[in-house]
Amino acid sequence: MPTSDPIIVPAALGVVHAAERAGMPTAFSPILAIVAAVGLALLEQPALATWNTTVLSGIIAGLSAYGLYAGAGTVGQYLSRPAPPA
């Protein structure tokens, strides 16, 4: 695994967040995260000899980015709900 692979996850996360703020429907977030991460991985390692592992690495990073994004949204919703009456 290249040392810059961990950078792809937050970069893809930023692309998804920016696209949603620009008006993209949230239903397309997982697809955009995967496409952005694969694109970033291919930019990072343009050697065609390892394109299959690079694409797989991008897919994994994209799924990780979307999971991080969805998990943070769920936690944010949980923390912002009103406290139950005591």
**pLDDT tens profile 46-73:** 665 577 888 888 888 888 888 887 888 7
With a pLDDT cut of 90, the percent of the chain lying above it is 12
Token digits for 51? Answer: 């394109």
For residue 18, the one-letter residue type is A
Token digits for 32? Answer: 């955009």
Q: What is the pTM of this model?
A: 0.74
Treating both helix axes as pointing N-terminal to C-terminal, what angle do 51-80 and 5-21 enclose, rounded to 10 degrees?
A: 50
Q: In whole angstroms, give the CA distance from residue 3 to residue 28.
A: 29
With a pLDDT cut of 70, the percent of the chain lying above it is 88
Residues 55 and 35: beta-carbon distance below 8 Å: no
Residue 28: name the closest of 18, 19, 39, 37 by CA. 19
Q: What is the pLDDT of residues 16-52, one digit of tens each?
A: 889 989 999 988 988 998 899 888 888 877 665 577 8
Task: Domain ranges for the chain, please list them.
Answer: 5-80
